[in-house]
Structure 1
Amino acid sequence: MDVTQLVKVSIILLVLATGVALLSRRLGIPYVTGLVLAGLPITELLSRPIGLNPTLVLNLFLPILIFEAGINTDVSRLRSTFKPIALLAGPGAVLSSGIVAVLLKFGLGLSWIPALFVGVILANTDTVSMIAVFKDIPVPSRLSTIVEGETLFNDAAALVSFNLILQVYSTGSITFIEGIQQLLFISVGGCLVGLVLGYLSIPVFARLDDALSSLLLTVAVALGTFQVGQFLGVSGAVAVVVAGLIFGNLGLSRNTSASSRITLLSFWEYASFTVNTFIFLLIGVEINLVTLWKTLPAILLAVLAYQVGRVLTVYPLLAGVRWIDRPIPLRWQHLLFLGNIKGSLSMALALSLPTTLPGREVLIAIVFGCVLVSLVGQGLSLPWVVKRLKLSKFSEAQQQVEELQAQLMTGKAAQDELDSLLKSGVLPKAVYEEMRSAYQVRIAGAEKTLRELYNRRPDEVEGGSGKSSKLEAIRRRLLLAEKGALNEAMRKRILSEEIVRGRIQNLDEQLLKLEDD
């Protein structure tokens, strides 16, 4: 396809996406589901066929999505929910892949390698639809963090597993020990690449004095980290995850000006939205309904297989979380099971299957069918499921608290910016004091009202549990800060390990007693 044709196709897709956005909001359906449905008849309208290019998805789209998720992920929140996330994205993904592979091998008569390929592909979750629902229907923040964290690490785990199976297919055989060694090399190597490039980008970012140059650096870090990882034979996806987390939590520090932060985060939000728009439209374009109809029995069996795999991993693994972390409520587990939606990475991996693999076209049709069923069936029902499970607890009292918190946070952020402007000589002291005092009045009013709300007994105000969960979230952050200080003191040999271990055990017990926020 030449440049002129590419521009024309892009314009058609953008206009179509705009129409889908308007229509999906009016009909109350998820945006990504609307995109897939709208993409189904596109091929008939174009003179030349277009489709989802796996190389483009894996080398351009995927690093953008992962890096955007990484820079927007709060490491302190991720750390507080890391155990359930690690169980779902690690052992959960491997176990689910194995269950799907076994069911498809004996259900469809596949050989082990094709079955394992499809197992890994269908064990991957794409939670774009779930995150979109969470924006409209507030859910507990810990649940939202688990969903986002699982997606962040699940994509990387899927790519690592897929490449490992690809190596087994290429070489003919691999021993268990060699497989473990290769898995560790790919994963740990990816972490090291992400750590190095992430930390190296921070001093460069600090020396750039304008937002646009900083923006170019982040794009280079996101795409370059993936390519360096691939070149070194380690996981580029893992490297981008780590680099994004480091840059988002250390690079975008308080020393970064407010305008630069807004410019960077807005750009990455737009980039992620644009990539998702094109991906889900192209998913609809790529799906051939005639082919899917012919393979419908196999598709339905595959859908059943990945749902069984999800059931047998989510519930047992999260039931055991209570022994090592705060328990995961059963309603949350229901949502994590029902929100098991497939998306762009599953299709890209299916298109990346070796051309010499027996039955490749049938396997691709099965994966495409599963993606369509999950996006339409589960995607359309997801808002209803969230409401039915009564996960939203956004009371009037909680809304009042959050509005006051927003007033307090924005006032203090503006004061910090004023201090920076005064220090740099942009503002004269008289203007600085006048503007700062106006913000101080706003801050004092918010602090007074918040103090009165927090000092009330829970039974004095409707939605007291919402207020209580806010305090629980604050207490959790304070306890995690205490743990961090103790670990740092032990690392620097300021405190002995015996003293630190005892205090950390006490802090862990306090964390387990806190309610979920």
Structure 2
Amino acid sequence: MEIFLTVALLVTAAVGANIVYTIFPRIPLAFYQIGAGLLLAVVPTFEHFDLEPELFMLLIISPLMFNDGQSTNYSLLMRRIRAVLSLAVGLAMVTIIVGGFIAHLFWANISMALMFALAAIVAPTDSVAVESITNSIEVPEHVMAALKNESLFNDASGIVAFSLAINAFNTGHFSVGSSIQHFLVVFLGGILLGIILGILLVWLRLFFQQKSLDIIAILLPFNLLTPFIVYLLAEHLGLSGILAVVACGVVHGVQRSRLRLTSTENQIVTRTTWNVVTDLLNGFVFVLLGASLPNVWRNLSRSDTAALPKLITVAISLYLLMFILRFAWSQLNLVRMHDTRHKRNTLKESLVLALGGVHGTITLAMAFSLPLTINGQAFPERNAIIFVAGIIILTSLIIPTIVMPLILPHKSDPYTDDEVEKLVNGMVDFAIDRLKTTEANSTLLAPVIETLNSQKGSPAPTDTKVVHQLLAESEEAQTEAITELIENGTVDRTFGWKYNRVQMIQTQFAFQNPFQRVLLWAKLVGYRFFPGLAKHQRAKQVAHWQAKKADWQKAHPEDQRAIEPGRQLPARQNQSDRLPAPIHDVHQHQDRFSRKQIHNIKQNQTSEKKKQLLNTMKELESAGYNAVMLYLSSVENEENRSEINVIRHYYMVRHNRFSQSDTKNETESELFIRAFQFEYTYVQGTASQQDLSPELVSTLQQKISMDQLVYMQSNG
């Protein structure tokens, strides 16, 4: 129960930070996550929270690194492999060696081995943290690529150097030759093992697909468990688990790029799942940092608060050292970030590379992996080292957040959300209008139009007066269709009128405000106690409908067909006066008649009678529904489209609940295929006429593709 509560609180904190960041995006997300962690520290569960480094590396770091690996472009990585090794190995080792000596100058009473361990802790960088603080600015693409690739491999450099330093501190012996040999074995061995395991796991995945086992329930858990299996096996063999996971991820990325058009559903579900998982895990990292800092501060304050200025000095000195080394490394052209070999790095690029050395996940994990005891005694200065690492993490986040916007341009969005929403609405309306010109059957079109309207964003504002006018006309169309069945003797007169009356009452209840519902109930009660009034009202309605039918047939003597419900209904009222009054819930009363009537049938009639009455109800429902759809289709235009959609949605939901039919005919599927093609046509035509940005066109086309895929998979 405690584990569940801990995970639930972490998820809540990460999601809460994302919500606040969405509302106030000017501050980087990482700071909101750290703040959420500080709030968690007040909860008793996190009051004395200490990060478990083994679990942290296994459960958080390994899946993050695996996903980074499988998201990496293999060809670009190989093209820039020299730059990657220069930053991830060369610069990392120089930083650890020089940083150890500098830290020892300020902290002379601590063993040199521990100072090298401290330098190894703060050497790795975190590309996720860089992206968090650069969301609103334009970072040169080649510089960001160098930072991402560096963070894939310098984690292992820091971890291996850290383990060597801790081992030297424990034993008191340090051999340069054996240390280099150990480093190469752990580093290269981890990469080799990751490649081998990646090939084997990819082969196993392809084997599943060949045996028709490429179902989500098999491949998704298999893919999610891969980083944990690889990491545990590599660590068990004494190799770098992080590098093994990264290498395995790169192999999976190569395989995924080769199979882009196979197992589409699996790839979409897998990618979406990984996006959700990595977003949560990245949030956990900084939430855990915030939750851990208060406990570190309490432990440090109990031991020696007088050393606080010295610790801050060490932290700032190490950060400045790493900044200077990164800047000089780029200016001396020891790392080539450009694809063009002879092009040198500019001052701005070097400055961005130096500022981009942000620290986060691995630094935090290694700091907390310092042992609690050594040789039966408390590990010296453990809390102080963790505190220094925490200060460096915060400093590396704060400085770029302030400086980078001053030297880099702000990111200009190629389009706005309002532009996307406007074009999507136009796209859907265009497809619906084209379908109406090619398909005359409004009953077949109704569910297609209803589904296409769900593509739109926020619903368009509706005029309450217009909605109620359309509703009254729709009810009249429904009543005329039911009257035809009654007059032709198709259904029992008493049952038909009862059905129609109850359906109209429920519709009125669905769209009326509470005061109007009270008046309607009073009217119904009056009919209950004075049945003569009800008969008189029904007679008036029958006379009205018969008169309208006679007028229409007189005006159209050449057309001997039965009157088309809705065709001769009065035109809708002028909607110049818009009313912002909301439309009330249109679902809460719409199926009450069906449930009550079916319940009575089950209680009082024989099974044959039940079946007969149910069939009659279905016939009445279909006739009324078809008449309403025909009417709505005949009066729909650009001005009343949103109001028509409200009425259509109500009758569609009622009809679907009543009929309980989930079958999709081939004609409907063809209509959807044509609709999606019309949407593509609209996007292409609008792009050429209005000169839309390529990013906006791509976004619209991706939306159509995803909607089409979702429809085909859910109705295939």
TM-score higher than 0.5 here?
Answer: yes
Residue of structure 1 in register with 2:639 after alignment: none
CA distance in 2, matches of 1:76, 1:263: 25
Q: Which amino acid aligns with 1:353?
A: L
Contact map agreement 1:134 1:144 (CA 8 A) in 2:
no
Matches within 5 A, 1:78-477: 78-109=77-108, 110-206=110-206, 207=209, 208-252=213-257, 253-287=259-293, 288-291=296-299, 294=305, 295-319=307-331, 320=333, 321=335, 324=341, 326-354=343-371, 355-356=373-374, 360=379, 362-372=381-391, 374-375=393-394, 377-392=395-410, 394=412, 441=681
Work out the CA distance in 1 between the residues paired with 2:342 and 2:277. Answer: 35
The equivalent of 2:37 in structure 1 is 39
Q: Deviations over 1:295-324 (max 9, x none)?
A: 422332222332233134212221214695
Which amino acid is the alignment partner of residue 69 of structure 1? D
Task: Quote the Cα distance in structure 2 between the aligned partners of 1:352 and 1:257.
Answer: 41
Structure with a larger share of its residues in helix: 1
Q: Partners in 1 of 2:170 and 2:378 — Cα distance?
A: 16
Relative to structure 1, the CA distance from residue 6 to residue 431 in structure 2 (aligned partners, 3 Å threshold; closer, same or farther) is same
- Paired amino acid for 2:178: E
Q: Which residue of 1 is the match for residue 55 of structure 2?
A: 56
Aligned residue in 1 for 2:561:
none
Alignment partners' CA distance in 1, 2:20 and 2:413: 29
Amino acid at match of 2:345: I
Contact 2:120 2:161 in 1 (8 A): yes
Decide which moves more: 43-52 or 271-280: 43-52
Aligned partner of 1:17 in structure 2 is: 14
SS in 2 for 1:153: helix
Please report how far the alpha carbon of residue 325 of structure 1 lies from its aligned counterpart in structure 2 after TM superposition: 5.8
How far, CA to CA, are the matches of 2:123 and 2:30 in structure 1?
A: 20
Q: 1:32–1:105: structure 2 CA closer, same or farther, 3 Å change rule? A: same
The one-letter amino acid paired with 2:274 is W
Query: What residue in structure 2 maps to residue 491 of structure 1?
Result: none
Change (3 A) 1:351 1:216: same
Query: Which structure exhibits the higher relative contact order, with contacts defined as CA atoms closer than 8 Å and separated by 6 or more residues?
Result: 1
Residue 353 of structure 1 aligns to a residue whose secondary structure is coil
CA distance change for structure 1 residues 164 and 256 in 2, over 3 Å: closer, same or farther?
farther
One-letter amino acid of the counterpart of residue 107, structure 1: F
Is the 1:81–1:142 contact (alpha carbons within 8 Å) kept by the matching residues of 2?
no
> Equivalents in 2 of 1:373, 1:115: separation in Å?
15
Q: Distance in 2 between matches of 1:106 and 1:359?
A: 24
Secondary structure at the residue paired with 2:146?
helix
Shift of 1:431: 8.9
State yes or no: 1:8 paired with 2:10. no
Partners in 2 of 1:6 and 1:244 — Cα distance?
29
| Residue range with higher mean Cα deviation, 278-287 or 354-363 | 354-363
Using the TM superposition, give the Cα deviation of residue 281 of structure 1 relative to its aligned residue in structure 2, in angstroms: 1.6
- Deviation per CA, 1:422-458, whole angstroms, max 9, x where unpaired? xxxxx9999999689668857976997999999xxxx
The DSSP-based 3-state class of the residue aligned with 2:281 is: helix
CA contact (8 A) 2:198 2:252 kept: yes
Size of the aligned set, in residue pairs, is 429
Q: 1:443 to 1:37 in 2, by over 3 A?
A: closer
What do the CA deviations read for 1:8-38 (whole angstroms, capped 9, x no partner)? 2333333333333333444432222222233
The answer for the alignment partner of 1:514 in structure 2 is: none
- Partner Cα distance (2:124, 2:267) in 1: 32
Cα deviation for residue 263 of structure 1 reads: 1.3
- 1:452-480 C-alpha deviation (Å, 9 max, x unpaired): 999xxxxxxxxxxx9xxxxxxxxxxxxxx
Q: Would the alpha carbon gap of residues 212 and 327 (structure 1) be closer, same or farther in structure 2, given more than 3 Å must change? A: farther
Of residues 366-375 and 48-57 in structure 1, the stretch that sits farther from structure 2 once superposed is 366-375
Q: Against the structure 1 CA distance between its residues 234 and 17, is the aligned structure 2 distance closer, same or farther, given a 3 Å change threshold? A: closer
Distance 1:238 1:169, change over 3 A: same
Query: Kindly tell me: are residues 450 and 218 of structure 1, through their superposed partners in 2, closer, same or farther at Cα, counting changes over 3 Å?
Result: farther
In structure 2, stretches of 5+ residues that fail to align are 425-665, 696-716
Q: Which has the larger radius of gyration?
A: 2
Q: What's the secondary structure of 1:29's corresponding residue?
A: coil
* SS of aligned partner of 1:316: helix
Percent of pairs identical after alignment? 23
Partner Cα distance (1:56, 1:111) in 2: 28
Structure 1 residue 101: deviation in Å?
Answer: 0.5
Cα gap change, 1:38/1:393 in structure 2, threshold over 3 Å: closer, same or farther?
Answer: closer
Q: Distance in 1 between matches of 2:232 and 2:272?
A: 24
Question: How big is the shift at 1:115?
Answer: 0.8
Cα RMSD after superposing both structures:
3.7
Structure 1: distance between partners of 2:676 and 2:10:
48
- The AA in structure 2 aligned to 1:33 is F
Secondary structure at 2:42 match in 1 = helix
Q: How far, CA to CA, are the matches of 1:25 and 1:302 in structure 2?
A: 36
> TM (normalized to structure 2)?
0.54
CA 1:204–1:100: 2 relative to 1, 3 Å: same
